[in-house]
Structure 1
Amino acid sequence: MTAQSTDLGALLARTALRDRAAFSALYSAHGAKLFGICLRLLQDRAEAEDALQDVFVKVWMNADRYVPEVASPAAWLNTVARNLCIDRLRARKTGGVEAEVLEALPSLEPTPEAEAIRASDGRRIEDCMGKLEGVRAEAVRRAYVEGESYLELAERFEVPLNTMRSWLRRSLISLRECLGDA
């Protein structure tokens, strides 16, 4: 999992909790990419801008439906945008795109091969997480899966803030080394 993927996942998790700052950061981090998808599919700048707004309304309303085990955060966001644009194309009465063109669009869904690799990577990550000390593994999960801040984690584990930062940094280094060995 890339750092950007982890960041997007954390932002989605916080957005599901109605964190407006996380939602704004999510828009800043991935809005341009989603606009590109909308523009490519709709081929009209004004409509793509409207579609992007609708995409982020859907993300705000449905962020709690994102399941990290099923797709990466970027793939989930891209799929929301793609599906919304395809719905708009289907709704066009005149001058629209033929159904054959829509069917020819490449799917943003992961291929079976990609799913197998992701599942294998997930097992490797879990194996490496199991090698971390219990509280440190829990801190990593809470920080990078659930999106808790360093301050929240320091309070939860009753350690100084800088200690928590060191725990997370060292744990990520250990995970990277473990994943590099596999």
Structure 2
Amino acid sequence: MTTSTGPGAARRGTGPSELDELFRTHRDRLWSVAVRTLGNRADAEDAVQETFVAALRSGSGGFRGEADPGTWLYRILMNKCIDRMRAHPEPDVGQDTSPDPVGGVATRLVVDEALGLLPPEQRAAVVLVDVHGWPVAEAARILDVAEGTVKSRCARGRSRLLELLGHLREEP
């Protein structure tokens, strides 16, 4: 049986060929979520690899069929990312209020640094909802929390980002 809950939806089964298809379908977006969540390409690659290994190990025992298989995979990824963030807290980074000599690239780096200063749970919610555009309901399923929890984590994360990035609004 197949599911039609989104683009690139995969089979409900979790045998080797179905997992291979699921990985191919979601690999690039998983990596994108991981790199924005963790702020480091090497950590993101490790988290995605750990996600695939965990999915393979759990096989049919891990996927209960209650959600889209992609959601199951993203939940594994976010758990791996949160574990990594807790194990390696980001150092406090000062604000750079100097003019942005290279335009959007420097601004993106500052935003990524600010994301790195959020607590892991807030960062995960903000990255899923605000950076990658997931609906709150889907982010709640991925993070395995209530929708209200995702909303409050996003609100607190946005508030902290406003404090950290408010200086960007004042630039010409």
Q: Which residue of 2 aligns with 1:8?
A: 10
Q: Counterparts of 1:94 and 1:35 in 2: how far apart (Å)?
A: 20
Aligned to 1:89: 85
Distance 1:87 1:112, change over 3 A: closer
Residue 6 of structure 1 and its aligned partner are, at CA, apart by 8.6
Deviation, 1:34, is 1.0
* Secondary structure in structure 1 of the residue aligned to 2:76: helix
Q: Aligned-residue CA RMSD in angstroms?
A: 2.8
The answer on whether the counterparts of 1:5 and 1:73 sit within 8 Å (CA) in structure 2 is no
SS state at 1:55 partner: helix
Tell me: higher relative CO, structure 1 or 2? Use CA pairs within 8 A at least 6 residues apart: 1
Pair 1:91–1:72, CA change in 2 (3 A): same
Query: Larger C-alpha radius of gyration, 1 or 2?
Result: 1
Deviation of 1:103 after TM superposition, in Å, equals: 3.0
Could you tell me which residue of structure 2 aligns to residue 101 of structure 1?
119
Shift of 1:112: 5.8
Alpha-carbon distance change, 22 to 68 in structure 1, aligned in 2, over 3 angstroms: closer
Structure with the higher fraction of residues in helix conformation: 1
2:32 pairs with 31, 36, 61, which one?
Answer: 36
* Structure 1 runs not aligned, ≥5 long: 114-182
Identity score, percent: 26
Residue of structure 2 equivalent to 1:66: 63
- Displacement after TM superposition at 1:57 (Å): 0.1
Equivalent in the alignment of 1:165: none
Structure 1 residues 6 and 51, CA gap change in structure 2 (3 angstroms): closer
Provide the TM-score with structure 2 as the length reference. Answer: 0.51
Three-state SS of the structure 1 residue aligned to 2:10 is helix
Judge which range, 84-93 or 104-113, deviates more.
Answer: 104-113
Q: How many residues align?
A: 105
Structure 1 residue 55: Cα displacement: 0.6
**Aligned-partner SS, 2:119:** helix
Instruction: Name structure 2 gaps, 5 residues minimum.
Output: 93-115, 129-138, 149-172
**TM-score of the two chains, using structure 1 as the length reference:** 0.48
